[in-house]
Amino acid sequence: MLKKRIIPVVLLKNGIIVQSRLFKRHQALGTPTAIVERLSNWFSDELIYLDISNESSYDLNRDDLNHSQFSTISEIIQQISKKCLSPLTFGGGIRNVEDARMRIKLGADKITVNSLLLESPETVKELVSEFGSQCIVASIDVKVNEHGKEVVYKKGKNETHWDPVDFAREVEKIGVGEILLNAVDRDGGGQGFHISLINKIAKNVRIPVIALGGAGKWEDFEEVLLKTNASAVAAANIFHHSENSVYNLKKYLYDRGLPVRKPIPLSEQQSNL
């Protein structure tokens, strides 16, 4: 049986890592390199970095407002990739092939696109042609509203009237290699993953689906692995507030016989270097 991946998601806003709730409230957590080094050391299968910035420059020294140091996204990706021991997916701000090429050249193993799927699907086809399906992840945000379950974009603000299953099939036709499925209404809420939504998408596409949105306890990850065909389970906030969180989660799942890679304690990893 293929192993299921456990993937921390890191949100980057104007140079600072934040935690999110409902795509609206963002609390600062720390700098990009410090966070990625911790998560890599804790035995993450992959890391997903999503740039949700509103600006083109990034303050990397928020504690010293009189001597703030600003950087570009390319410099931040370089810093992150040097510290990242796991495969790295980077999303946000990708509008064309050159944007994607820069991120891959500087260390990203994959890129993820969201608004581009709706605004310029032809560009996404170009990305697939240029870099291969295995490098392109379709990020699909889903919100429950008066229309039922609906695909949204632009940080959840823009409605599309797309049914999630229909849209997932559409992006599969474009040629992307994977879907990152995010339940917007559960973002940062900790009430559990949207099991029925994950199941509907996973059963209607042939490409891997990463479940995101709603993790509040280890049992929530267990439920996804037991009740859905998701290929991976991702989360953000839950991994930031305790030491060795990714390792502890994977040990919890592994000890219960679930198909995840056996976690290796940091002490054993270091002894093998």
Domain ranges of the chain: 5-62+70-259
For residues 55 and 53, give the distance between their C-alpha atoms in angstroms, rounded to a whole number: 6
Q: Are strands 70-71 and 58-59 parallel, antiparallel or unpaired?
A: antiparallel
Q: What is the pLDDT along the chain (273 residues), one digit of tens a residue?
A: 789 999 999 888 877 777 666 555 555 666 777 777 777 777 789 999 998 876 554 445 444 333 334 468 888 888 888 888 899 999 999 999 999 999 999 999 999 999 999 999 999 999 999 999 999 999 999 998 766 789 988 766 788 889 999 999 999 999 999 999 999 988 767 889 999 999 999 999 999 999 999 999 999 999 999 999 999 999 988 888 777 889 999 999 999 999 999 987 766 655 554
Q: What is the DSSP letter of 60?
A: S
pLDDT at 96: 97
CATH fold of 5-62+70-259 reads TIM Barrel (3.20.20)
Q: Give pLDDT, residue 269.
A: 56
Beta bridge partners of 212: 182, 234
CA–CA gap between residue 127 and residue 113 (Å, rounded): 10
Residue 20 has what pLDDT?
60
Distance between CA 63 and CA 245 in Å, rounded?
Answer: 26
